[in-house]
Amino acid sequence: MTAKSDELVNELVSAAIAFGRGQLPDWQTRIETAKRELLAHIDEVEGLEEDSGSYDSLIPDWANEPKQRWIPVSERLPDNWKSVLTIDMSESTRGMVSAFYNPKTSLWVSHFSDDLWVTHWMPSPELPIVYGKVCEE
């Protein structure tokens, strides 16, 4: 939802709550105004949909990127030998480390240590540099 849509819905809900609590003597005017403004905004947005075929123009590019989250190792492990970001709680690190899981030894390994105590991991993001060139995307 856009910020304006959110604001209009919140005003309509707030006016309805004020009416329910008997807080506003002009509740009917406030509810009617909020309803009229929300319907006008919906008409405007639906007009955008007809013009562009979708609401995509209202959604920022970053909102379509896949959501990443920290995955507990108790939930699942990454593909074997695949480099991922990890949370290492060992004495030497206590932070985020790029590492991979070795299925033969059941250990996490990084370039710095093979004594990691990994609690969580997530897939590594795409690198901005590929083969010495900056990605153009």
| pLDDT tens digits for range 7-29 | 877 777 777 777 666 665 565 67
Inform me whether the pLDDT recorded for 126 exceeds 60.
yes
> Both ends of the chain: CA-CA distance in Å?
26
Q: Which helix (H) or strand (E) holds 99?
A: strand 95-102
Euclidean distance between CA atoms 71 and 8, whole angstroms: 37
| pLDDT tens digits for range 35-67 | 788 888 888 877 765 555 555 566 666 555 566
pTM above 0.85, yes or no: no
| pLDDT tens digits for range 70-90 | 899 999 898 888 889 998 887
Hey, what are 25's tokens? 């003597």
